[in-house]
Structure 1
Amino acid sequence: MSATRSLVGLTFCACYPAFYLVNKYVLSVLKFTYPTLFQGWQTFVGGLLLHVSWKLGWVEINSSSRYDVSTWLPASVLFVGIIYSGSRALSRLAVPVFIILHNIAEVIICGYQKCFRKEKTSPAKICSALFLLAAAGCLPFNDSQFDPDGYFWAVIHLFCVGVYKILQKSQKPSMLSDIDQQYLNYIFSVALLAFASHPTGDLFSVLDFPFLYFYRFHGSCCASGFLGFFLMFSTVKMKSLLAPGQCAAWIFLAKVITAGLSVLLFDVTLTSATVGCLLLGGIGEALLVFSEQKGS
């Protein structure tokens, strides 16, 4: 069993950086900035692979009641907000910066649990939230590649992630499983993004994309779709097999690997102040891992 858990964790750590680095390549290097089409493609591939896996008996998707589906609908709307705003932010921000800002979602969750649920919060988790806030707050003033639009979309992204996780945690145990939730997310996302591609102008603007018929673009898009599915599947598997503290540790490791590789692969300007902000954010997430392992 321990070998299986390690294999799942290692698979997650391979899929996480691969997914984000391929996305960054498509969005920033190839400059495919048509999020309704790019995210629509990813969710279409993910939904198709999940449906095929269900039909082959590899995963179980329960036939949910209309009430369960309608109850999950707000979360599916937030999921679309997560992937759309995340795509817009990642196209403009360095990967380490995007990760630090993404982590603020944990502060939103912590604040909700403390202020509205009146849950007991450990000193380690409070310190973690403060470090994460300090890192994200200082970044805009020390980022030599500062992009206002990138930060704007990152704020929307982290807000959607935080509220989505709150809805997920507040769901009754008898309702949808993680796979059920993701299946509904995929279906809703494909439908909404396909509908939105015309009003946003992406549907016709993509015809002017210079790499539309290049193999490296096609290969990168295919890789992003498959990697997104494998990342989702490994995440669900990891959460079902590992304790929350162990999951948090694997996620932290995957983020460190992703940030490190992105500096080597992409044009990232790091000043001493920027590195300080990133280290501060890293300390904050390490404290979050510690608090999760302590069961707080």
Structure 2
Amino acid sequence: MADDKKSDSKLEQGSRAFEVPHPQPRHNVPVGLSNNPVLPVLAYCGSSILMTVMNKYVLSGLDFNLNFFLLLVQSVVCIIAIQTCKAGGLITFRNFNTDEAKKWFPITLLLIGMIFTGSKALQFLSIPVYTIFKNLTIILIAYGEVLWFGGSAVTGLTLFSFGLMVASSIIAAWADVQHALTSTTNASTKISTLNAGYIWMTANCLCTAFYNLYMRKRIKLTNFKDFDTMFYNNLLSIPVLILATLLIEDWSAENVARNFPIVSRSNIAIAMVLSGLSSVFISYTSAWCMRVTSSTTYSMVGALNKLPIALSGLIFFDAPVTLGSVSAIAIGFVSGIVYSVAKFKQNAKPKTGILPTTNIPLSASSQSMRDSLRS
């Protein structure tokens, strides 16, 4: 969810929406604390882990069903936080414009779908499995860019990384199913829970891919920066989420008590606020990381960051620690590194490569879609 609202959406935006020039090297000048590359990298990783853990804490009870309300709280907290930072001169973003809001609104709807499906998937799946399956979104986005935007062809090394991503997801799912089957109690219930999680995860990967692809086109047209995107996404989502939580979700006293037990009500409220603030932290620390490091380092950090996020599920929650789950995490970690290396090599060479869909004649409808997206 929030891994997705803020975790999947801000990580993608940070790498392309911020246009922060890299500082020129200075000789014989001591490196200040703000320009030390270790600090922003740790802050970036920490904010990602904080968001995922807080979201999982809120959603860890399978009786929790006020997902739209959770998203609403996070959006309101995010708007308050970035408006406060703007008033204090810490950040800047463009003021609200009705015409821009109308054009951006479809992206906001896709974002809500992405976050909602992500929250449902995180509700039923463990953090390691959720994190591993998110890698599959990279495959959808890569081929979507080639088909719809004429992006770079996918090289053999990139295809190999995709194979590792698929393998890690299969192993993770197999390990979860095996653990559920060997459980002494409620094996059928656990299998049903996992199946629901995989369905929501599939929907989340599709929503995330469409969101990223469509947002890429719109950002080029509007020249939005990262905080512009965050401002419009969260502001426009608030009225939609208010209607969704009031009309769709159950606000009876019994259901509220089930979602917010008295013994943990304050902790859940704090976790909601922290997950909203984490989105701001992720955007800021990603820009900070890009400013004091190279783009290569930033991309590698994004790949390596999946390992501590997955491990956080083993540490803070009761995710099963088995040979299969550990192997899936390791393979997923390696796939991220291989993918980063492949992208570095691809960017350093002319845009040539191997793609199963390259040079295949497009149908009239596919060609029309590509032309319309380019226009």
Same fold (TM over 0.5): yes
Which whole-Å CA distance do the structure 1 matches of 2:119 and 2:75 have between them? Answer: 13
Structure 1 residues 198 and 256, CA, compared in 2 at 3 Å: closer, same or farther? same
| 1:26-79, Cα deviation, whole Å (9 max, x unpaired) | 211595442111111111101111112122222111136544333322221121
| 1:105-130, Cα deviation, whole Å (9 max, x unpaired) | 11011112333415233322221122
Asked whether the equivalents of residues 124 and 196 of structure 2 are also in contact (C-alpha less than 8 Å), the reply is: yes
Q: TM-score, normalised by structure 1?
A: 0.88
Which whole-Å CA distance do the structure 1 matches of 2:142 and 2:85 have between them? Answer: 35
- For 1:41, the equivalent position in structure 2 comes to 73
The alignment partner of 2:207 has SS state of helix
Q: What amino acid is aligned across from residue 288 of structure 1 in structure 2?
A: Y
- For 1:186, the equivalent position in structure 2 comes to 234
| Identical aligned residues as a percent | 20
Shift of 1:282: 2.0
Asked whether the equivalents of residues 94 and 268 of structure 1 are also in contact (C-alpha less than 8 Å), the reply is: yes
Candidates 298, 302, 322, aligned match of 1:247: 298
Shift of 1:210: 4.8
Structure 1 residues 162 and 215, CA, compared in 2 at 3 Å: closer, same or farther? same
- For 1:211, the equivalent position in structure 2 comes to 261
- For 2:201, the equivalent position in structure 1 comes to 154
1:292 paired to 2:343: yes
Shift of 1:264: 1.8
Root mean square deviation, CA, Å? 2.5
Which whole-Å CA distance do the structure 1 matches of 2:279 and 2:288 have between them? Answer: 14
- For 1:95, the equivalent position in structure 2 comes to 127
Asked whether the equivalents of residues 36 and 197 of structure 1 are also in contact (C-alpha less than 8 Å), the reply is: yes
Shift of 1:174: 5.1
Which whole-Å CA distance do the structure 2 matches of 1:81 and 1:242 have between them? Answer: 33
The alignment partner of 1:187 has SS state of helix
- For 1:224, the equivalent position in structure 2 comes to 275
When structure 1 is superposed on structure 2, of 209-218 and 151-160 the one drifting more is: 209-218
- For 2:358, the equivalent position in structure 1 comes to none
Q: Which runs of 5+ in 1 are unaligned?
A: none
| 1:211-250, Cα deviation, whole Å (9 max, x unpaired) | 2573323332332232233223323444566544322221
Which whole-Å CA distance do the structure 1 matches of 2:109 and 2:291 have between them? Answer: 25
Q: How does 1:54-203 map to 2 (within 5 A)?
A: 54-63=86-95, 65-116=97-148, 117-143=150-176, 144-145=179-180, 146=191, 147-170=194-217, 171-172=219-220, 175-203=223-251
Which whole-Å CA distance do the structure 1 matches of 2:64 and 2:279 have between them? Answer: 17
| 1:189-209, Cα deviation, whole Å (9 max, x unpaired) | 222111100222243332443
Q: TM-score, normalised by structure 2?
A: 0.71
Which has more radius of gyration? Answer: 2
Which whole-Å CA distance do the structure 1 matches of 2:224 and 2:307 have between them? Answer: 32
- For 1:234, the equivalent position in structure 2 comes to 285
| 1:230-286, Cα deviation, whole Å (9 max, x unpaired) | 223323444566544322221223221121122122111133233333332222111
Candidates 330, 334, 337, aligned match of 1:283: 334
Which whole-Å CA distance do the structure 2 matches of 1:64 and 1:195 have between them? Answer: 21
Give the length in aligned residue pairs. Answer: 296
Q: Which runs of 5+ in 2 are unaligned?
A: 1-22, 24-30, 181-190, 348-375
Asked whether the equivalents of residues 68 and 175 of structure 1 are also in contact (C-alpha less than 8 Å), the reply is: no
Q: What amino acid is aligned across from residue 210 of structure 2 in structure 1?
A: V
Which whole-Å CA distance do the structure 1 matches of 2:318 and 2:83 have between them? Answer: 38
Q: What amino acid is aligned across from residue 296 of structure 2 in structure 1?
A: G
Which whole-Å CA distance do the structure 1 matches of 2:36 and 2:65 have between them? Answer: 39
Structure 1 residues 241 and 83, CA, compared in 2 at 3 Å: closer, same or farther? farther
The alignment partner of 1:19 has SS state of helix
Which whole-Å CA distance do the structure 2 matches of 1:256 and 1:281 have between them? Answer: 8
